[in-house]
Amino acid sequence: MLATLAAVCLSSVPFAVLAEEQRENYRCLKIEYTVSDSDPVRAYLLVPDAALQGGKCPAVLCFHEHAGLFYAGKEKLVRSMEGESQAVRSSADAWVRQAYDGVYFGDKLASLGYVVIAPDMYYWGERCPDRKKGLKEDKAKLVESQKSVYDSLMAQPRSENWAEKTLGEDLYAAQLLASLDFVDKSSIGVFGFSMGAHRAWMLAASSPLVKTGVSLCWMSLKSYCVTPPKQAYYPIMIPRLREQYDFPDVAIALRSRPFCFINATEDEFFPCEAARKAFAIMQDYYSEVGAQGKLVTEFFEGTHSCPLPVQERIISFFADNL
């Protein structure tokens, strides 16, 4: 079957299919690809049956959140394949119950006919150092090591910024999706929750392949960020970018495209007041070019999460814009 799928998944962007399994009305593939000379990226690629039968499908890049859970990366969005370790499955299941009302959102999108790719970010999932070594996940140690990881990447001969490394990998994932014969290249979107939301709008601002997207629970202003940065900020920190731009300035690059930003009224990480001010700035940017209505900024009653009503709102937005 892997040979058949490899033939169907013809792509000008290199990747390898490592494993696959049939789900309700789509197939789940574990794939691997290498960006530049960095370590290999593992991702889940979900392909609706209609795509494998010759159809063209819209596609969504799904970026996982931080959550302080490192064993699970892509597994926070896509149900682990059979044979995955119980430790990974348990970690992901517990998080999905807490944050997504028990729904694996990548699987949900695939069941609705979207091609989905969900890659592991560096330091998460199959790129987590504890998981690669077969060790029990030491969450406290991994959390406290994030600045060290940031510093070690910067100290390499090529001086690699962690967030820029991630953006390069996310650009590759977008190119991979666009190169697949069964993907409608004019209908590629992006979704992310929390840290994944930051990745989502960074990718959309950097790639014309992304037509639209939804960023959930990550928008603020620099003035609301603590100094020195918390450990969890190091994976997304780009100092030279933040010296010139504030977070809502991303709308300058997005304002020709429909995009949706959603924050929670009781978000413990991104205060409602900061998000509201940022949203107003972003709406002004869209108004400057006569793009009123293309930017959706809204709040839901709740905490830092992706509950069922928010999932339905996201699905509705993609249905209207992809």
Indicate the CATH number for domain 2-321.
3.40.50.1820
Which residues have a Cβ under 8 Å from the Cβ of 25 and sit 6 or more positions away?
A: 48, 49, 111
Q: Cα separation of 156 and 154, whole Å?
A: 6
User: Confidence class of residue 156 from pLDDT cuts 50, 70 and 90?
Assistant: confident
Q: Cα separation of 32 and 42, whole Å?
A: 5
Question: pLDDT of 279-304, one tens digit each?
Answer: 999 999 999 999 989 999 999 999 99
Could you tell me the CA-to-CA distances from 83 to 80, 86, 88, 168 in Å, in that order? 8, 9, 10, 30
The pTM assigned to this predicted structure is 0.93
Check residue 113 and give its pLDDT.
97
- Domain extent listing, the chain: 2-321
Check residue 9 and give its pLDDT.
57
User: Confidence class of residue 1 from pLDDT cuts 50, 70 and 90?
Assistant: very low
Lowest-pLDDT range, 146-155, 169-178, 307-316? 146-155
Check residue 10 and give its pLDDT.
52
